[in-house]
Amino acid sequence: MSSCIRRCLKPVSAVLSFSGTAGFGAFAAEPPAPASQSIARAHPQAGKEGVAGTQAGAAAHNASHNMEARGVEQIHVTAHPFNTLGAGNDVGGRLPQDILHTPRTIDVIPHALMVQENVRSLDQALKNVPGITSSVGEGAGGLSGDQFLIRGFAAQNDIYEDGLRDFGVYTRDSFNYEAVNVIKGPSSEIFGNGTTGGAINIVTKTPQLNNREHVDFDGGSAMYFRGMVDVNRQLSDTSAFRVEGVATSNNVVGRDKVFSHRWGIAPSLAFGLGTDTTLLLQIMHQSGDGKPDYGVPVVPGADHIGRPVTQMGIPRSNWYGKDQDHDRTQDTMETARLKHRFNDHLVFHNDLRFGEYGRDFEASKAACGAACARALLAGEPQDGWVSRATGGGGAGKNVGGAPQPYKQDSWSFQDVASTVYDFRTGPLRHQLVGGFDIEYVHDQRHQYTFLTPIPAANLLYPDADVGPLVKVRGDSARGWRNLVNLPGLGQKADSSGSAFDAGIFLYDQIWFTQAWSLKGGFRWDRWQTGYNATGGNPADPNRHFNNTTNVINPTASLMYMPTARQTYYFTYATSTTPTGMYVTSGAVPIRPPGQLINKPEHATLFELGAKISAFHDRMGFTASLFRLTKDNALSADPATGQTISTGATQRNQGLELSVSGNPTRNWNISATYALYDPRTLKSQSPNQIGKMMQYVPHNQATLWTAYRLWPNTPWNVMVGGGVTWRQRVWLDLPNTARVPANVEFDAMIEHRISRHWRLSLNGYNLANRLNYGSLFVNRVTPAPGRAFIGRLTLDY
C-alpha cells in the first residue's frame, strides 16, 4: 500500500509547509487557479517527523529531498486551504505529527477563512470553534481582555503563541496570525499545567524566501477604520525579514460610549531557511486604549429566573459606565525559535520568550438591586437606578466585587527545549519526544480608590458624565478606607505575585504494525507560587505566603491508521491546575495556607475520535466522543467576584463533528457541531448537584461557505456567508439565571479588480439580533448589532 501511495503521489517541485506558505498564499482567499498546498509529511507508519515545523517552503523541500535521497519513505499529501487536517501543530516539536495524525480534537481556523470573514481579533476568529464562550472576570484586581472558556472550563491562562504561553490580559489583534488552533481537552504533555478544557495556540506569520507586499484598508459601521501592512523581504538564499503592522479605531454598533483604539507591529527575522539549522527572531508589540464594557445587569423576572434587563425592554445601547473609565494596555513579547536537524532521525527545538505587559484599568460594573428590579418589573424602568461600583457600606466602595482602578506591570520568561527522536527497537518503530519547560512570571499591582461616592445611573437613561472623581492610591491615609475588604487579607492596597514552573516531559509513540500504534508518556511539574499583599489598612498586617505543588500528569492514546488518510484513536489525558496559575489574570491567585482554595484542580479526559481526509484531500472530516471531568472546581462568588472553591466535581461529555475543505475548485466550506451534556456531579451546595454547568450550551454549531463565480474573468465575484448558533446557557451553578440563544448571520462579497487589487464587503449580524458576548453570573454584554465593513486590498 505504501509503495502504491508513493508512486501515485509523486513529490512536487516545491513542498510547502502550512506555517510557511499560508501567509501570502492565502491572502488571495481562493485564487482562480486551484489553491491546493502540497504538505510533505512523513506518515506515522514511516516513523518519521513531518516538516510542519519548518519556517519556509525551501526548508521543507530540502528536508524532503534529503530524506528521499537516503531511501526514506515519504507521503506527499495534497491539502486544500480549508482541509486543515494536513496542517502542522506548530508547538515547537512537542506535537511532531500533523492534525490528521494527532489523537486529539483540534479545531483549526485557517488563514483563508480569516481572510474571507475579515477577522480582526482573536475573539472573532474563535467564533468558528464550538465550545468556546467569553466571560468577564473581575475581583479586586479587575479583569477584562480576552477571557475564554473551552468546553465550559476557564482558559484565561491557556492562550499560546507558537507553543509559548502569552501571559498578557488584553484584546489580541489578529494582524500577525497565520492560523489559530484550539486543542480540546487536558494537554499537559504539550503545554504543562492548566489546559482543563483545552488550549488556544496562535500560529504567527514568519519570513519566507520571496518578496511580497500586502496592504489592507478597511472602513465601516460605527466609525470603523483599520489599516494593515505585511511586507516580506528575502535577504539571501537562506534568510528573510518580515514585518506586519496594524492601526485600528472603532466604536461598537449598538453600544453607547464604547470604543477601541489599538496599534501593533510584529517584525521577524529568519536565518538558515532551507538548511538543517533555522533561527527565527520575533518581536510583537501591541498597544490598546478603549472603554471597558461590563454589560447590563441580570435581574430575576416574575418567574424568578434571572434575565438581562435588555430582555425586559431596556435599550441594548445603554452603557452604565462613566466617562473616565478606561483600559490602556502595552504588551510586548520577544521570541527566539531554534530548530536543528542532526540527521534524518534526530531533531532539536528550543523556543525562548520574554514578555512585558502593562495595564492601566478603571471600569464600572452595573448592579441592579432590589429596588431597581421592582421598578423594572412594575413597568416603570425610569424609576430604577443602577449602582456603578458604589454603596455597600461606605462612600466610594465597590459593590459586588466590581473592579477598583489599578495599574499593573508584569513580566515573564519561558524556555522550552524538546527533542524528537525516530528510531527502532527490533521490529518496533518509535517516535520519542522529550524535553524540559521552564517559565517564570511576576506581577505587581497598585490599587486606587475614590474619595467621593460614584453617582448611580438611571436604568432607562444612564448618563456617563458623573463629573470629576477624586482618585487616590489605596495606600494613602484616606484611600485605604474605601478598599475592598478581602477575606483573609483585609484592605490591602498593593499586591505582587510570582510563579516559577519547572517541567519535564517524555512520551513515545510505538508502531506495533503498519496500522496500530500506542502513544503514551507523562509530564512532571513543580509549580511554586508566592503572593504578597501590602499597604492599605494599617490595622491589617502585610501578608506573605507561598505554595508549592508537585504533579505528574500521564497521557495515553491507542491509534489505528489503516491508510495515510485515516486515523481512529482512543485517548486518555490528564491535567492539573495548581493554585496560583493565574498570576497576571487573577486578583488573588492564592490565599493564606489552610484554605480549600489552595488545593489544585484535576481534570481527566476520555476521548474516542476519527479523522478522515477524503476526495483527493479536498475535504476533511472529524468526529469525537468525549468525557471531561474536573475535581475541586473553582468558581467566582457573584457577590464579591473573588475566586472560591466549590469543592465540586463537574463533568462535560458530548459529541463534536466538523467538516471542512473545498468540495469543488471554487467552493469552500467549514462547518462544526457540538452536542454537550454539562453537569455538576458533586458540590457542597445541594442546589447545584445535577444542574447544568454555567456558560455551556447543550447545542452549538457554526457554518461558513463561499463560492467564486466566473473566475478568470473581469466580472469575477466571490459570495459567501454563514451562521453561528449557540443554544441558551445558564449563568450560575444553581441554574437561576440565563441568557437566550445566540444566532448570527454573516455574509461577504468580493471582486478581484486585477491581479493585485481586491475589493470586498462583509456584513455581520445581518438580522440585527440581540445576542450576548461576554457572560458572567449577574450580568452580560450585548454583542454588536448589524455592521458592514468594506475592505480594499493591495497584494504584490
**Separation CA 411–CA 452 (nearest Å):** 34
The pTM of the whole model exceeds 0.75: yes
Q: Is residue 6 part of a domain?
A: no
Q: What does the mean pLDDT of the chain come to? A: 85
Q: What is the mean pLDDT of residues 698-715?
A: 96
* pLDDT tens string 407-420: 999 999 999 999 99
Average pLDDT value for residue range 491-508: 93
**Cα–Cα distance, 634 to 653 (Å, whole number):** 19
d(CA 633, CA 678): 14
- Scanning the structure block, which residue is given the C-alpha cell 460614584? 454
CB distance 170 to 331 below 8 Å: yes
DSSP assignment of 572-628 equals EEEEEE-TT--TTT-SSS--STT-GGGSPEEEEEEEEEEEEEETTTTEEEEEEEEEE
pLDDT of residue 205: 97
Structure-block grid coordinates of residue 507: 512520551
pLDDT tops 90 at residue 679: yes
Cα dist. 685→60, 496, 680, 696 in Å? 56, 33, 10, 20
CATH number at residue 554: 2.40.170.20
Residue pair 573/187 in contact (Cβ under 8 Å)? The answer is yes
Q: Which has the closest alpha carbon to 493: 479, 507, 504, 511?
A: 479
Nearest Cα residue to 289 out of 228, 330, 244: 330
Q: Can you read off the three cell numbers belonging to residue 680?
A: 455538576
Task: Give 729-759 pLDDT, tens digit per residue.
Answer: 999 989 999 999 999 999 999 999 999 999 9
Say if CB 205 and CB 23 are below 8 A apart: yes
Region 612-617: mean pLDDT is 95
Per-residue confidence band for 424, with pLDDT thresholds at 50, 70 and 90: very high
Q: Choose among 51, 20, 17, 59: nearest CA to 273.
A: 59
| Residue percentage of the chain with pLDDT more than 90 | 64
Q: Which residues contact 124 (CB under 8 A, 6 or more apart)?
A: 117, 174
Q: Is the pLDDT of residue 301 over 50?
A: yes
Q: Which helix (H) or strand (E) holds 441?
A: strand 428-450
pLDDT at residue 18, as a whole number: 34
Whether residue 467 is contained in a domain is answered as yes
Q: Per DSSP, what are the bridge partners of residue 623?
A: 610, 657
Q: Is residue 59 part of a domain?
A: no
Asked which of 108-117, 388-397, 622-631 is least confident by mean pLDDT, the reply is: 388-397
Does residue 395 lie in a domain region?
A: yes
Q: Is the pLDDT of residue 491 over 80?
A: yes
Dihedral sign for Cα 116, 121, 123, 129, please. Answer: positive
- Does 268 score more than 90 pLDDT? yes
- How far is the CA of 323 from the CAs of 255, 295, 467, in angstroms? 14, 15, 9
Please give the pLDDT value at position 294. Answer: 86
Average pLDDT over residues 235-246: 98
Tell me what the mean pLDDT of segment 494-505 comes to.
Answer: 94
- Residue 690's Cβ-side half-sphere holds a number of Cα atoms within 13 Å equal to 2
Percent of the chain with pLDDT over 70: 84
Per-residue pLDDT at 364: 86
Q: What residue spans of 104-166 are helical by DSSP H?
A: 111-117, 122-125
Task: Kindly report, residue by residue over 31-74, the tens digit of the pLDDT.
Answer: 333 333 333 333 433 333 332 333 333 333 333 334 333 333 33
For residue 102, which phi and psi values (nearest 5 degrees)?
-105, 120
pLDDT at 8: 38
3-state secondary structure of 494: strand
Task: Characterize the bridge pairing of strands 198-204 and 779-782.
Answer: unpaired
User: What mean pLDDT is predicted for residues 449-476?
Assistant: 87
- Please choose, from the candidates 60, 55, 63, 46, the residue with its C-alpha nearest in 3D space to the C-alpha of residue 92: 55
Note the pLDDT of residue 90.
84
For every residue of 756-792, DSSP letters joined together read SEEEEEEEESTT----EEEE-SSEEEEPP-SEEEEEE
User: 663: Cβ–Cβ under 8 A, 6 or more apart, which residues?
Assistant: 615, 618, 619, 669
pLDDT of 395 higher than 70: no
- Of the listed ranges 78-82, 177-181, 692-696, the least confidently predicted one is 78-82
* Backbone torsion region of residue 329, taken as left when φ is above 0, otherwise alpha when ψ lies between -120 and 50, otherwise beta: beta
Contact predicate 795/315, CB 8 Å: no
Please tell me the distance from the alpha carbon of residue 33 to that of residue 665, in angstroms, as a whole number: 8
DSSP-assigned letter for residue 383: G
- Look at residue 22 and tell me whether its pLDDT is greater than 50: no
Rounded CA separation 662/722 (Å): 16
Sequence-distant (6+) residues with CB within 8 A of 493 are 446, 447, 473, 474, 475, 479, 480, 483, 534, 535, 536
Average pLDDT over residues 89-96: 89
Is residue 22, in this structure, part of any structural domain at all?
Answer: no
Give the three cell numbers for residue 421.
527522536
Residue 580, pLDDT above cutoff 90? no
What whole-number distance in Å separates Cα of residue 479 and Cα of residue 144?
24
In this structure, what DSSP letter does residue 236 have?
S
Pick the more confident residue, 585 or 166. Answer: 166
The stretch 204-233 carries a mean pLDDT of 97
Give the separation between CA 29 and CA 793, rounded to whole angstroms: 12
What span, in angstroms and rounded, lies between the C-alpha atoms of 260 and 263?
10
The model's confidence at residue 468, banded by pLDDT at 50, 70 and 90, is: confident
Res 640 pLDDT > 50: no
Choice between 118 and 79, residue whose per-residue pLDDT is larger:
118
Q: Is the pLDDT of residue 574 over 50?
A: yes
For 401, list phi and psi in degrees, rounded to 5: 75, 15
In a domain, 488, yes or no: yes
Least-confidence region, from 62-66, 356-360, 438-442: 62-66
pLDDT at 551: 92
> Which pLDDT belongs to residue 60?
39
Give residue for cell 513543580.
526
**How is 408-426 classified by DSSP, letter by letter?**
EEEEEEEEEEEEEEEEEET
CA distances (Å), origin 389, targets 114, 463, 594: 38, 15, 31
Q: Give the per-residue pLDDT at 590.
A: 72
Of residues 685 and 597, more confidence is placed in 685
pLDDT at 452 over 90: no
Q: Residue 40: what pLDDT? A: 35
Instruction: State residue 69's pLDDT score.
Output: 35
Domain span at residue 457 reads 106-537+550-795
**Alpha-carbon radius of gyration of the chain:** 26
In this structure, the strands spanning 385-388 and 366-367 are antiparallel
Give the other-Cβ count within 10 Å of 767's Cβ.
Answer: 12
pLDDT of residue 771: 95
Kindly indicate the confidence band of residue 225, based on its pLDDT and cuts at 50, 70 and 90.
very high
Domains contained in the chain, number: 1
Residue 173 falls inside a structural domain: yes
pLDDT at 300 > cutoff 50: yes
> Cβ distance 201 to 180 under 8 Å?
yes
Q: Is residue 530 part of a domain?
A: yes
Q: Does position 78 have pLDDT exceeding 80, yes or no?
A: no
